[in-house]
Structures are given as C-alpha cells and as structure tokens.
Amino acid sequence: MATRNVVKEGDPILNKVCRSVLNFDEKLAQLLDDMADTLKVENGVGLAAPQVGILKRVCIVDVGDDDGIIELVNPVITEASGEQLEPEGCLSCPGIYGTTKRPMTVTVRAQDRNGNTFFVSGEGLKARAFCHEIDHLNGVLFKEHVIEYLDTGSEG
C-alpha cells in the first residue's frame, strides 16, 4: 500500500491541462494503485492524477456501489443529459462545499490500465463524480460550478 500526498488548492498544478496517456505500462499501473490507496485513506468518491501531482489524463471514481473503483484513462464524456443540483466538495479544497449544477446522467468513453477502450454510464452521484474528476484533467476545480456554498458534502 502506497499513498501519495493530495495537492491542495493554490498549487498551480491543479490549473493545468493534463497530457494524454500513451504508454500503458507498469508506471501507469503503479499510479492507479497508489491513487486507489490514497482515495481510500482520504475517504473520497474520486481522485484525479493532477491531485497527486501527475499531469496525466488519469482519474478514478468510487461511489461505494458494486462497481468498486472505476479506473478512467484518457476519459471523454460522450453523452450528458438531465440536470442535478447537489452538494459537492473536493479533496484538494478541504472544508469547502457547494451546490453544483451537473448533468444527471453521463456516459464516458475511456481506456483501462491495459489500453482497452470501454464505455461507462452513471447517474446521480456517479455522474457528478465523473464530471468532477474529468474537469480536474482540464485544470478545472468544482468551485467553477458552485451555485451556492454549503457546510457539508462529498469530496472528490
């Protein structure tokens, strides 16, 4: 088990656009394993590579359902529908929560750690987590989507 430090808001790495993953190698596998360990310890619903200081298009989502940890490499949202207004937070912005406006349902096309392309859909919290983590890969924090700040929420 190896955890990595979570970068906090204010670090310019969180505002950078991440590079696509081209090599599906042991280094990528190690990054994903470390991110999973980190997410568990931090008790979040998602984590993106730039949050551990790596500018690669890699993120993971775990909303606590039967799917467990979903690993997304080079993810792209291919469909989005509906709308939800729910509380949201971010492991890089501790203690800050706000109601964000997100699609209710999204479909993501991504690659797994071996480079195989797959599609995954989610609604509610999972859709929100997909949007939140993919935003991180484009240097966007959830605060840009906040409509109203709150006292509590889930962190990704």
Q: Are strands 105-111 and 117-123 parallel, antiparallel or unpaired?
A: antiparallel
Q: Are 6 and 91 in contact (CB under 8 A)?
A: yes
| Secondary structure class of 81 (helix, strand, coil) | strand
Question: Which residues are near Ni ion by CB under 5 A?
Answer: 90, 156
Closest-CB residue for Ni ion? 90
Least distance in Å: CB of 47 to Ni ion?
7
Provide φ and ψ at 19, rounded to 5°.
Answer: -85, 150
Least distance in Å: CB of 114 to Ni ion?
26
Provide φ and ψ at 84, rounded to 5°.
Answer: -140, 145
The one catalytic residue in 133, 144, 148, 155 is 133
Nearer to Ni ion, 74 or 97 (CB): 97
Nearer to Ni ion, 93 or 110 (CB): 93
Q: Which residues pair with 111 in a beta bridge?
A: 73, 117
Burial of 145 (0-12, 13-18, 19+ CB in 10 A): middle
Nearer to Ni ion, 115 or 145 (CB): 145
Active site residue 133: yes
Nearer to Ni ion, 49 or 73 (CB): 49
| Contacts with 130 (C-beta within 8 Å, 6 or more apart), sequence order | 61, 72, 75, 77, 106, 108, 120, 122
Least distance in Å: CB of 26 to Ni ion?
26
Q: Which residues are catalytic?
A: 133
